[in-house]
Amino acid sequence: MKILVTGGMGYIGSHTCVELLNDGYEIVVIDDFSNSKPEVEDKIKTITGKDFKFYEGDIKNRKLLNKIFEENKIDAVMHFAGYKAVGESVKKPLMYYDNNLNTTLTLLDVMKEHGCNKFIFSSSATVYGKPHTLPILEDFPLSTTNPYGTTKLMIEMILKDLFIADNDLNITILRYFNPIGAHESGLIGENPNDIPNNLMPYIVKVATGEYECLSVFGNDYDTHDGTGVRDYIHVVDLAKGHIKALENMNGLKYYNLGTGNGFSVLDLVNTFEKVNNVKVNYKIAPRREGDIDACYADASLAKKELGWETTKTIEDMCKDAYNFVIKNK
Ligand code: NAD
Ligand code: UFG
């Protein structure tokens, strides 16, 4: 079976390429390196000992996409490509709507032309907005608070309409919670060039001495220690969820991919310090606008229907995130 992986040089896509290759799938990858580096291609090949075809370019380029589908018999598409920084999306909404929506529209259209009917989409827990109760189930009401989140919700709506029009399609929408960690080899992981928005990449940069101090955004939330609680999931567990989704496609499906456990900012800082034997300096800062107290998944549907559950601990996530950055400094 041959899978087209869009955005396969990025953080989650690269880990999924590894799992696909390890499980014997053939893959074809497209990426424009807008948020990744060319060396990832070789790293995936080193980890797996397997080869694959790579196309550099923009998914909005219909000619290139047609060429890919003509040169390869693609059985299914995993669509990771897109922009993902919440803050940037508020400042540059058109850039986000253009990239996230137009890549998806072009891709779906070219898939149809070539008779490819399996599509797995990277959505996000951000589509649940501010949940009224926890844990979050797939049928909770949906809303968004920023343009990035709105692109995810709009794509979900487009996919629903598309499925209504064409029941032969198999579409699986995966709503990720908070992916962190890295491959245990330390060859691939997440190490943003810009100042990170997300907690784990920031913790790592404080631990390595690149930044002086982590700002903990608020300690007066309604949580066990007052700091924000999230459902952190190891990126390798997340990648494995995509294989299970691929093996169990059946119509239009939605799944939460999370652990079902909530950890606070200070839980993560303390665990990181303990397992890596390093100091993470932090100070309490005001709340970040738009943040919610707590967010964690009910992931029982993915367990029941896909046979998927996470195996990595919060300690594994902290260890692997640090190992990657130390090895790639
Ligand atoms: P990433 O930025 O590391 O990877 C995305 C990849 O897509 C990058 O390699 C980038 O170069 C490529 N890309 C972007 N636009 C492209 C285009 N027009 N043509 C070709 N390639 C393009 O992001 P990630 O963390 O791996 O996230 C993957 C997907 O999962 C994204 O859709 C993201 O919105 C979603 N997601 C991520 C998180 C998270 O916290 N990382 C959470 C929920 C959902
Ligand atoms: N936090 C800090 N200091 C920082 C960064 C974050 O205290 O420097 C706190 C936040 O206030 C929050 C927690 O750490 O309580 C997690 O914040 P992240 O920015 O790492 O993650 P979010 O849950 O805010 O959002 C992320 C992605 C979204 C995605 C969501 C669910 O940025 O796009 O996870 O998948 F929708």
Mean pLDDT for the stretch of residues 18-28: 98
Domain covering 2-183+233-260+296-311 assigned CATH 3.40.50.720 in the classification: yes
Report CA(198)–ligand 2 centroid distance (Å).
5
> Ligand 2 pocket check: which of 83, 140, 145, 198 to mutate, most ligand atoms within 8 Å of Cβ?
198
Determine the pLDDT at residue 193.
Answer: 72
Contact 317, 234 (CB under 8 A): yes
* Integer Rg of the chain from CA: 19
Mean pLDDT for the stretch of residues 135-149: 97
DSSP strand pairing (229-230 vs 263-264): antiparallel
Residue 290: pLDDT band by 50, 70, 90 thresholds? confident
Determine the pLDDT at residue 241.
Answer: 98
Nearest residue (CA) to ligand 1, atom 41: 179
In short, whether 204's Cβ falls inside 6 Å of ligand 2 is no
Contact 230, 302 (CB under 8 A): no
44 pLDDT more than 80: yes
Nearest residue (CA) to ligand 1, atom 18: 58
Q: Which stretches of the chain are DSSP H helices? A: 11-22, 39-48, 62-71, 86-91, 93-96, 102-113, 147-165, 199-207, 235-247, 265-276, 300-306, 314-327
Mean pLDDT for the stretch of residues 28-36: 97
Determine the pLDDT at residue 191.
Answer: 75
The per-residue pLDDT for range 153-189, each reduced to its tens digit, is: 999 999 999 999 999 999 999 999 999 999 999 999 9
C-alpha distance from residue 135 to each of 194, 248, 260 (Å)? 32, 24, 7
- The residue from 11, 148, 176, 202 that is catalytic is 148
Mean pLDDT for the stretch of residues 310-316: 98
**Quick one: 149 exposed, middle or buried, by C-beta within 10 A (0-12, 13-18, 19+)?**
buried
DSSP-assigned beta bridge partners for residue 253: 172
Mean pLDDT for the stretch of residues 41-63: 98
Starting from the edge strand earliest in sequence, which strands make up the sheet with 53-56, in order? 53-56, 26-31, 2-6, 76-79, 118-124, 170-176, 252-257
88 pLDDT more than 90: yes
265 pLDDT more than 80: yes
Active site residue 176: no
Q: Tell how far CA 268 is from the center of its chain.
A: 19
Mean pLDDT for the stretch of residues 121-137: 97
pTM: 0.98
145 pLDDT more than 80: yes
For residue 177, the ligand 2 atom closest to its alpha carbon is 35
Nearest residue (CA) to ligand 2, atom 28: 126
What is the domain partition of the chain in residue ranges? 2-183+233-260+296-311
